[in-house]
């Protein structure tokens, strides 16, 4: 393989730039050329393809976002869109592709693989919702951002003796809520994977009050309910002074943590090496800290669960 491409797709995540850097530098180190494809599959279909050099990825390891831009592209879900993308890759002389993104982006990579084009996926999403890998690039940074916000909210919650509902991202996964809630000492953590009753949340708040607790923080994963509605319900059905904070896209930005930079560097490099070995249709990840390559089909069909041990621990510690 003489020339490969790299793109970022779906929601951006801190560390994507470090992964792009690792792809470009490993490929050049190995004697290959690298092309960057702008705006995910949308840019691929439009032929937005530029040559990358060692200098193209200088000074980006510490930057959030993605210098290749990212996009969501409905047209690429169609056979015609995929064929157009394949044509663009061939016209640009690209022989293999690294796709950095989430589960949806991997479906696009799988489609190209099924058309006979070599692809490797690198898990990049703050949601940590991809099975068969330890963590996704960006998750650690997003959790730290959420913890930083929860710590600050706790200061004002304490001063005003209030109850705060903090809604975090994660799409259908509760990992950001679970990790940030556990590390931030939340009184309740609501995640989509574990059904809850709002009455039980209220009972827990009441138990805290009877022990002399003056403030509480409830962390809600966006997939577990609407923070505003939960806050409204608590206001109307309890005597607590309730405020709601929706953290939103702040969780997607900022400099990547050292954990994310190192993970991204490892996985970007690993993805290039897999392509060089003639491997395709797989996700480059780590499992129990060891580099791995897992078939997209396995990734798509393996159910993903939150860490039940951590969830149990969070319940014990927030008794």
- For the CB of residue 109, give the shortest distance to ligand F6P in the complex, in Å: 17
What counts of helices (H) and strands (E) characterise the chain? 11, 11
Query: Which one from 12, 103, 127, 260 is the annotated catalytic residue?
Result: 127
Q: What does 126 bind: ligand ADP, ligand F6P, none (CB cut-off 5 to 8 Å by kind)?
A: ligand F6P
Q: What does 107 bind: ligand F6P, ligand ADP, none (CB cut-off 5 to 8 Å by kind)?
A: ligand ADP
Q: Which residues bind ligand ADP (CB under 6 A)?
A: 9-11, 41, 72-73, 76-77, 101-105, 107-108, 111, 125
Copy the structure tokens of residue 169.
Answer: 């991202």
- For the CB of residue 266, give the shortest distance to ligand ADP in the complex, in Å: 20
Question: Do the Cβ atoms of 222 and 245 come closer than 8 Å?
Answer: no
Q: Mapping DSSP to helix (H, G, I), strand (E, B) and coil, where does residue 163 land?
A: strand
Contact between 234 and ligand F6P by CB under 6 A: the answer reads no
Question: Do the Cβ atoms of 176 and 139 come closer than 8 Å?
Answer: yes
Contact between 261 and ligand F6P by CB under 6 A: the answer reads no
Instruction: Write phi, then psi, for 61 (nearest 5 degrees).
Output: -60, -30
Nearer Cβ to ligand ADP, position 9 or 145? 9
Looking from the CA of 126 toward its CB, the CA atoms found within 13 Å total: 29
Contact between 260 and ligand F6P by CB under 6 A: the answer reads no
Copy the structure tokens of residue 71.
Answer: 């996009």
Residue 155 is a catalytic residue: no
Q: What does 103 bind: ligand ADP, ligand F6P, none (CB cut-off 5 to 8 Å by kind)?
A: ligand ADP
Q: What does 73 bind: ligand F6P, ligand ADP, none (CB cut-off 5 to 8 Å by kind)?
A: ligand ADP
Copy the structure tokens of residue 103.
Answer: 């589960």
- Cα distances (Å, whole numbers) of residue 100 to 6, 105, 264: 8, 8, 10
- For the CB of residue 132, give the shortest distance to ligand F6P in the complex, in Å: 18
């Amino acid at each position: 393989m003489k020339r490969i491409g790299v793109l970022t797709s779906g929601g951006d995540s801190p560390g994507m730039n470090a992964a792009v850097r690792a792809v470009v530098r490993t490929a050049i180190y190995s004697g290959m050329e690298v092309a960057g494809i702008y705006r995910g599959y949308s840019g691929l279909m439009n032929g937005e393809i530029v040559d990358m050099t060692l200098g193209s990825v200088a000074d980006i390891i510490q930057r959030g976002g993605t210098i290749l831009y990212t996009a969501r592209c409905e047209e690429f879900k169609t056979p015609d869109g995929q064929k157009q993308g394949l044509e663009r890759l061939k016209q640009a002389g690209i022989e293999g592709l690294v796709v950095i993104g989430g589960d949806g982006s991997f479906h696009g990579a799988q489609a190209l693989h099924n058309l006979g084009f070599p692809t490797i996926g690198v898990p990049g999403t703050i949601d940590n919702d991809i099975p068969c890998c330890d963590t996704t690039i960006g998750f650690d940074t997003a959790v730290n951002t959420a913890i930083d916000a929860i710590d600050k909210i706790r200061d004002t919650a304490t001063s005003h003796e209030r109850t705060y509902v903090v809604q975090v991202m994660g799409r259908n996964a509760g990992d950001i809520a679970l990790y940030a809630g556990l590390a931030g000492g939340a009184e309740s953590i609501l995640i989509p994977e574990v059904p809850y009753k709002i009455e039980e949340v209220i009972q827990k708040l009441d138990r805290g009050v009877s022990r002399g607790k003056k403030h509480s923080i409830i962390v809600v994963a966006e997939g577990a309910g609407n923070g505003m509605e939960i806050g409204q319900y608590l206001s109307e059905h309890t005597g607590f002074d309730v405020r709601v904070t929706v953290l939103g896209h702040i969780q997607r930005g900022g400099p990547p943590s050292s954990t994310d930079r190192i993970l991204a560097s490892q996985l970007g490099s690993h993805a290039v090496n897999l392509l060089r070995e003639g491997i395709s249709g797989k996700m480059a990840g780590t499992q129990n800290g060891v580099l791995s390559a897992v078939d997209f089909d396995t990734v798509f069909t393996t159910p993903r669960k939150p860490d039940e041990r951590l969830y149990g621990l969070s319940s014990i510690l927030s008794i």
